[in-house]
Structure 1
């Protein structure tokens, strides 16, 4: 059972910065769960509402809210997978494309995060980065609630026919499918980048 999520601060209220050993421990060991291992139960309606509320507390230059969410579960998600399955045969590797759909069909709950840049003078690239930040925050918040989560795109995020099936408007892109559930097995630690090769000083 997850702990209650604190209410959002009132508009204009101070948001003090404070150290959190629990948050650091979570980030130090954060690991995506394999989508194929995610089983019921997933977040319930109240938990999902909390996840989305936490997910949008990300940097958002100009307060554009350049993203939206499509909730996928149950029969509606199964029907979507079947429509995508019909498109898999047109992919360069049909068998691989079919197999990739297991990552979408197995988890009990998926959230499609759509990058939806707005007019208003802020760079589109920054708005797209904000959508990516939403995806990352959803992963971290889900793990903090005790759920497994995985961020995936795959071929159906880029195929023109699939994008029409997903209902994206002109200018929108799939930032990611966030798959949520209870992992059937604990994820294993993977190889991490060598920071010495990635960090430099001016």
Structure 2
């Protein structure tokens, strides 16, 4: 929603995020510019990694949800860590790209402890990831993408080539004014621990995962 005071003063609406710091961040994948943001509404700290020169249209972009278990501890229950690394490598190979990393999206937005409780239900009772969330009285997917859009707006980005298998993410970004000129799959080879999880994402959460076809469950 527009900032009413800004409109009354004839000034542009206040951004939902404040860019606090920019610093070079060398990584195992290549060099990036790290941009630290403060979400004015939630108070959460957010980060975007930029490689190369960013243009308003067609930037290779990944909007990535926080996943402590997959990215830090290397959990094989999901593909999040591999997706994060692969996305960064693709940006470096292309010569330019943006990764918007969203804190507060742990467990599709239900939080770390609830995510672990849902995982316990999956292991103990054979529930899938959707059923486990619902059994806990929680939404299947509580993520919102307004802060990602605000960061892309701050970077002057109007349209992107989106690295994602999730059409709901695409729809959310487009609904908030970011044009998706192309959706590029980010497919990771499944393993015995995450095959059922990925199958559920495909069959119940509409993710495009054609590489599961023909694989044994």
Report the TM-score, using the length of structure 2 for normalisation: 0.24
- Bigger relative contact order (CA 8 A; separation at least 6): 1
Report the TM-score, using the length of structure 1 for normalisation: 0.26
Whose strand proportion is higher, 1 or 2?
A: 2
